[in-house]
Structure 1
Amino acid sequence: MVSKRPLVGVSCCTRLPEDPVQAVAERYLRTAPFMGADVVLVPAMSDIIDIGSIVGRLDGVLLTGSPSNVSPDLYRGSDPGIGPFDPARDETTLRLITAAVEQDRPVLGICRGFQEVAVAYGATLRRDLGEPEREQIHHTPPGLPLEEMFALEHRVALSPGGILERAMGASSITVVSAHFQGIAETSAKLMVEATSSDGVIEGVRPESGERVLAVQWHPEWRVAEDANSQRLFAWFGMLLRGARLEEAADRVAELAS
């Protein structure tokens, strides 16, 4: 009998608007071995798929990064915002988060996925984190090759006693940064898990204890070369198998010691 591995639904983006394509960067899929899971793509097409039905067949959801920004209509109303936008992805991922929480499926958000989790729990976003006059920029200038873009790193402080600090076994780590957007005002529904030196929130989870966690950085980038990223995906892999947040964090730290 073939053993059954957990199945993770990975969020897609809509690309090429004249002839839409459902897409996800391959690097997100290559995290599967570190979760000990299989992956399946979830298209940003909530008009033809039943989100609740799909989530019911998954063991967890991975919300990916994307070139597009979350629509400001979802968090600040009349502000026109700066595109590109992907409204089909916005609608699909917010429904994925809701359905996953209702069905107790864990969610891990990365970059845009972090922003989607933040908005789902009532936070607002800002779009100035790549401005060159900032003391610490969070995104390289537009147009650089991918390798140079993802070469930008900085430290983040992990909240004392938080899930990330427990899993990483450290008070701070170095992360890969590539985001123009980030949290402007957080929500009472969220707990801060990580913060950069300039005060930008880099990690969150729900205050209510739901099995949801999101990071603003890119742990999927060259995951095979980064022990902290591997710990994060190993932690999520334990959640896929039914572990609770703290239990998985302590087990990952124990295995790494």
Structure 2
Amino acid sequence: MASKKPVVGIMACNRTVGVENAHAVMERYVRAAVLFGDCHALLIPPMTEGFSSGAITERLDGLMLTGSPSNIGAQRYGQDGGEGPFDDGRDTVSLAMIECMVTMGKPVFGICRGFQEINVVLGGSLRRDVGRRMGSALSHHAPDSAGFDAMFDHHHPVDLVPGGVLAGVYERPRISVNSVHYQGIDKLGEGLTVEARAPDGLIEAVSANIGGSQVLAVQWHPEWHTASHPDSQVFFHLMGCALRGVPMETVRLQAAKL
């Protein structure tokens, strides 16, 4: 009898569809997780009514936090103002889910907004000037005039930190990643280790093992055309291993052969 596949919870967002509110996840996140993480997926609605992070966490083997057009509310990391759109329901649910998953020792993986959410939960903060102050030296986002595909195909290199999980996986010092963000990490969250930086010094990937909870998060978008990008497949392969309780450090060479 074949072993059961693990189940990953995937964080949804509030979106307007017609005149109604919907809880939605772009298919590319789910497809990449299921196919390259070899797992089942359940969507987590960003609805606070009746929400219990503990009840949901008990039913999951891990959590994946997606990217989103919305930004985390600045009050969540002790600041004021900020540019929307915002999604307070997602903030409330996703931050509580991260905290509960870590407390229960279950893996947490993040992409873009999810990367930032993990940092905030662990006491870190965000900078909101990436597009403006860093734009002249390195562009972290395509021009506003770019089409949708061009926006996600906007790339820059990142330097992998020697001795890190990702450096061990890729077995080279630098990879090219797509970049679609205006915000980024300022103060690093407690317990997080930097895995990669952009040439301008901005943190692009982090990892941690907190009480047995394996954490890996990237600022870029490995879910974009994953089937055509072996480097992106590694992120989901590592997630699949973590969902099965396999330490990421022990699967470096296996992941690198994808």
TM-score by length of structure 2 reads 0.92
**1:219 counterpart residue number:** 222
Contact 2:161 2:167 in 1 (8 A): yes
**2:213 counterpart residue number:** 210
Counterparts of 1:50-89 in structure 2, within 5 Å, are 50-77=52-79, 79-89=80-90
What is the percentage of aligned positions where both structures have the same residue?
43
By how many angstroms is 1:86 displaced?
Answer: 0.4
**1:139 counterpart residue number:** 141
By how many angstroms is 1:133 displaced?
Answer: 4.2
**2:245 counterpart residue number:** 242
**1:6 counterpart residue number:** 6
Separation in 1, partners of 2:71, 2:130: 13
Q: Go from structure 1 to structure 2 and tell me whether the alpha carbon gap of 1:188 and 1:42 turns closer, same or farther (over 3 Å shift).
A: closer
Give 3-state SS (helix, strand or coil) of 2:139's partner.
Answer: coil
Are positions 1:189 and 2:199 aligned together?
Answer: no
Are positions 1:199 and 2:225 aligned together?
Answer: no
Counterparts of 1:84-123 in structure 2, within 5 Å, are 84-123=85-124
Give 3-state SS (helix, strand or coil) of 1:16's partner.
Answer: strand
| Residues 132-185 of structure 1 deviation map (CA, whole Å, 9 limit, x = unaligned) | 842101011335321010121011111101011112222111101101110122
| Residues 86-145 of structure 1 deviation map (CA, whole Å, 9 limit, x = unaligned) | 011011111111111122211110000000011111111112222384210101133532
Once the two structures are overlaid, the 10-residue window that deviates more, 8-17 or 103-112, is 8-17
Q: Go from structure 1 to structure 2 and tell me whether the alpha carbon gap of 1:146 and 1:246 turns closer, same or farther (over 3 Å shift).
A: same
Separation in 2, partners of 1:229, 1:135: 25
Structure 1: state its 5+ residue gaps.
none
Following TM superposition, the consecutive aligned residue runs of length 4 or more in structure 1 with deviations greater than 6 angstroms are none
Give 3-state SS (helix, strand or coil) of 2:176's partner.
Answer: strand
**1:126 counterpart residue number:** 127
Amino acid corresponding to residue 4 of structure 1 in structure 2: K
Give 3-state SS (helix, strand or coil) of 1:20's partner.
Answer: strand
Separation in 1, partners of 2:144, 2:50: 35
Contact 1:130 1:140 in 2 (8 A): no
Contact 1:7 1:59 in 2 (8 A): yes
Amino acid corresponding to residue 86 of structure 1 in structure 2: D
Separation in 1, partners of 2:60, 2:140: 33
Contact 2:64 2:109 in 1 (8 A): yes
**2:158 counterpart residue number:** 156
Partner of residue 234 from structure 2, selected from 227, 231, 236 = 231
By how many angstroms is 1:250 displaced?
Answer: 4.3
Structure 2: state its 5+ residue gaps.
none
Contact 1:60 1:105 in 2 (8 A): yes
Amino acid corresponding to residue 7 of structure 1 in structure 2: V
Contact 1:130 1:141 in 2 (8 A): no
Contact 1:100 1:107 in 2 (8 A): yes
Once the two structures are overlaid, the 10-residue window that deviates more, 161-170 or 194-203, is 161-170
By how many angstroms is 1:62 displaced?
Answer: 0.6
| Residues 55-91 of structure 1 deviation map (CA, whole Å, 9 limit, x = unaligned) | 11111111000000011001123x2111110011011
Give 3-state SS (helix, strand or coil) of 2:56's partner.
Answer: helix
By how many angstroms is 1:188 displaced?
Answer: 4.3
Q: Go from structure 1 to structure 2 and tell me whether the alpha carbon gap of 1:2 and 1:186 turns closer, same or farther (over 3 Å shift).
A: closer
TM-score by length of structure 1 reads 0.93
Give 3-state SS (helix, strand or coil) of 1:161's partner.
Answer: coil
CA RMSD of aligned residues (A): 1.8
Once the two structures are overlaid, the 10-residue window that deviates more, 223-232 or 200-209, is 200-209
| Residues 188-239 of structure 1 deviation map (CA, whole Å, 9 limit, x = unaligned) | 4321111000000001123746311110000000000111111121111111
Give 3-state SS (helix, strand or coil) of 2:131's partner.
Answer: coil
Paired residues in the alignment total 254
